[in-house]
Amino acid sequence: MLKRSDVFAVLVAAFVLGAGAYLSTYSTDVIRGVGIVLMAAALWGLIVWFLWERKLKSMPIILLFGSIAFAILAAGSLAAWYFLPTPKPPDISAEFESMYANDFTDLLNSESNLAFHIANPANGLDTTINIRFRIHYDFRANIDFLSLYIPTINDARLSAEAVIHLLRDQIPKHRDDLKKVEVGASSPGVATTYGKDMNFSGRVFIYTLNSLDALQTGNLIAYYREAGMFLEIRGNDYYWFHRKH
């Protein structure tokens, strides 16, 4: 039957083991290494306690080999912590741009770079944003629609809302220029259909990780609607949902 001191020792070991297990999940190398050592120390300490309490004759030998095993385990854990590469956090921007590139892959598309120049003499702003601009052709419905990728904006003088707002009136012209690239499709018994003859559906998908709140998004959707375009902004929520699923 376990004595009160034995129960206390088990509880202490369980607490240290749990703390070590929790720390070992951290991404920081030092904290993870400490967690591994704590787990090993908790297990070995519990074994030593029960051997000491029962005063086994073979205890010196067990302690000797056990100490050697613990030292090897601790050294191995520290070596693994030091030499093994630390898992790198995901490159969110790269993953999000990959999502953009891989959406609507069932449709033919044309892509070009829109060098969008923005200047504001009042605050000295003078920059060019390279925006990926794609036309997606739905030959079954005889319509096309657009998707754009806006990279991260690192200039505090420029907001994503302003960029998307200014971009609206540039979209029709750039679409017309890109439609000059001849794209066509045909199937047995069906004449070739060319992208230049397709009608614009008005759908515009803008991908950006730049921050936009609900009010800004709603205002932009209404502003694009005035020009006959139906805007959908795919941002952080879209990224995290599709990354999990």
Instruction: Tell me what pLDDT residue 48 has.
Output: 66
Q: Is 21 helix (H, G, I), strand (E, B) or coil?
A: helix
Mean pLDDT by groups of 10 residues along the chain of 245 residues: 58 65 65 69 64 55 56 61 63 93 94 94 93 94 96 92 96 93 76 85 97 95 97 95 83
Residue by residue, what is the 3-state secondary structure of 41-79?
Answer: HHHHHHHHHHHHHHCCCCHHHHHHHHHHHHHHHHHHHHH
Structure tokens at 171: 């979209």
pTM for the model stands at 0.66
Q: Which residues contact 162 (CB under 8 A, 6 or more apart)?
A: 118
Return the amino acid letter for 169.
Answer: D
**Dist. CA 118–CA 220, nearest whole Å:** 18
